[in-house]
A = this chain, B = another copy of it.
């Protein structure tokens, strides 16, 4: 059959344009040139300035022979330069590679070489790391140093043998009226971001313009972000490109409030002075916020929306945040999904429940983000969905337009990640009756004891509820009888007293017998620079401890 709707109705440049979040900034600058786009300390930058400076950055980059498909790296804090990089770099067709500033020189050097980075823009504060990096890398990026005039750098004598261009001087080499490049295809890469790589080499996650456009809009839609919302940067922008919020804000003509460091007083002052409406961050940020004394003296917006990910927000923190004037929403995602891809969509009738029931509901990761077409919990052996019983564990799988293009230069990893038409997250979860998912573990962190799957997260949650325990991490140890059994690492406060027997009794009271850890180790828990617990180190520790005890 001939479909009449496909005849003489082809794409042309009048009715088809590649989706790109850069267009949001162009529009914001056209329509609201004088609206404040960026606040950083005493600095205010309008949308007109922001757009012009981004274009000049793009122009300056292209004058350094940066072409489509080249990588430009940043080692920057949450500053205006980092926001400019999110537009200026893709505006010349290049790919932004935002590096986690907390990584060591070796890890950074690996990324720069792997991404074949042509240019590295870094904050002056990180100059000492730069020299170490230079001694390690094979590639030879041009160095551009951002000297943040809102920062009092402690003057050390660090200098580099290599030529370093000042960021402002570099911007000045660019043309005001540079014609920025649209992507040739919306599938073109806009960014590469490396996974933290708790085992083996990190993988370079490649995102495209289409996905960045869609997630940027999705953020505004699921978060009910109105025109002129004000966003405080407590989430590092090097983290999945700040979950695409650098682009979201231009779509809604909002204001970015920058923040070099996450400190309670700075956060509260910024919220009060700029009438902040939204902010994001790991649960640690909520702890920092709540640690502020005399919170009452600050005048805030009616309600501030806080989006958290990485771990379920505990009941006491939720209650305290509510008291302090925040509405907390729980998100979940991965670098491979541009940041948040799952949201704990709240039902208004849940507000009638008591605090602990609400916390139980809020601990669940939730449902698919608006721009994600598919979210499932599947048995990876047969790719069948698990029953929605809140018990059966399967692997979280994603399908849709906010799933990465793939891993850079890693066909094998791509074939594995996209096997059977789903992106395999490696995260394990259950599916509740109402379709909400709840994470139980990473694939490699699950403990299989006597054929039963035991979620290390479930045990960690129980231990964390103990009033004297600050933090807990549970890993598998070999067990002659059961194959594996859980082993708990526990951090307690310096003045707290807790015995192995106390912890064991606590677990027995709250957990099914087969889930109760057999071993308890009281010591500090190693974490990555992004705050993730390094379980592979704990597993080695456990082996060491128990083999020496034998």
Is A8's CB within 8 Å of the partner chain B?
A: yes
Is A380's CB within 8 Å of the partner chain B?
A: no
Which B residues lie within 8 Å of A192 (CB)?
5
Partner of A348, one of B30, B228, B405: B228
Contact A14 B418 (CB under 8 A): yes
Is A442's CB within 8 Å of the partner chain B?
A: no
Contact A69 B3 (CB under 8 A): yes
Is A15's CB within 8 Å of the partner chain B?
A: yes
Contact A403 B345 (CB under 8 A): no
Which B residues lie within 8 Å of A497 (CB)?
none
Which B residues lie within 8 Å of A19 (CB)?
401
Indicate the size class of the contact surface on chain A.
Answer: 35 or more
Partner of A13, one of B12, B251, B399, B410: B399
Partner of A32, one of B31, B67, B347, B398: B347
Please, which residue of chain B has its CB at the minimum distance from the CB of A345?
B31
Please, which residue of chain B has its CB at the minimum distance from the CB of A69?
B3
Contact A418 B68 (CB under 8 A): no
Q: How near does chain B come to A445, taking the closest CB pair, in angstroms?
A: 23
Q: How near does chain B come to A223, taking the closest CB pair, in angstroms?
A: 9
Selecting from A132-140, A278-286, A365-373, the interface stretch reads A365-373
* Contacts A68-B3, A401-B19, A418-B15 given; does A370 touch B251 at CB 8 Å: yes
CA separation between A4 and B206, bound complex, in Å? 11
Classify the interface of chain A: helix, strand, loop or mixed. loop
CA separation between A524 and B32, bound complex, in Å? 43
Partner of A220, one of B24, B221, B374, B400: B221
Please, which residue of chain B has its CB at the minimum distance from the CB of A188?
B5
Contact B398 A14 (CB under 8 A): yes
Contacting residues of chain A (327-375) with chain B, CB-CB under 8 angstroms: 345, 347-348, 367-368, 370, 373-374
Is A423's CB within 8 Å of the partner chain B?
A: yes
Q: How many copies does the complex hold?
A: 2
Is A95's CB within 8 Å of the partner chain B?
A: yes
Contact A69 B6 (CB under 8 A): yes
Which B residues lie within 8 Å of A227 (CB)?
222, 224
Contact B4 A409 (CB under 8 A): yes
Please, which residue of chain B has its CB at the minimum distance from the CB of A187?
B11
Contact B23 A373 (CB under 8 A): yes
Taken residue by residue from 21 to 46, chain A's Cβ proximity to chain B (1 for < 8 Å, 0 otherwise) reads as 00110010011100000000000000
CA separation between A5 and B17, bound complex, in Å? 20
Which B residues lie within 8 Å of A31 (CB)?
345, 367, 435
Contacting residues of chain A (41-58) with chain B, CB-CB under 8 angstroms: none
Q: How near does chain B come to A206, taking the closest CB pair, in angstroms?
A: 6
Which B residues lie within 8 Å of A398 (CB)?
14
Contact A5 B221 (CB under 8 A): no
Is A411's CB within 8 Å of the partner chain B?
A: yes
Is A521's CB within 8 Å of the partner chain B?
A: no
Which B residues lie within 8 Å of A421 (CB)?
12-14
Contact B5 A189 (CB under 8 A): yes
**Could you jot down 21 A-B contacts, CB within 8 Å?**
A1-B67, A5-B405, A5-B408, A8-B414, A9-B189, A9-B405, A9-B406, A9-B408, A11-B187, A13-B421, A14-B417, A15-B399, A15-B403, A17-B374, A17-B400, A27-B368, A27-B370, A217-B221, A221-B252, A224-B227, A251-B370
Q: A15-B418, A31-B367, A251-B370 are in contact. List 15 more A-B contacts (CB 8 A).
A: A4-B408, A5-B189, A5-B206, A5-B408, A8-B406, A9-B206, A14-B398, A14-B421, A14-B423, A15-B399, A16-B187, A27-B370, A32-B347, A221-B221, A226-B226
Q: Which 10 A-B pairs have the closest CB atoms?
A: A3-B69, A5-B189, A224-B226, A15-B403, A17-B373, A9-B406, A8-B411, A13-B421, A9-B405, A14-B418
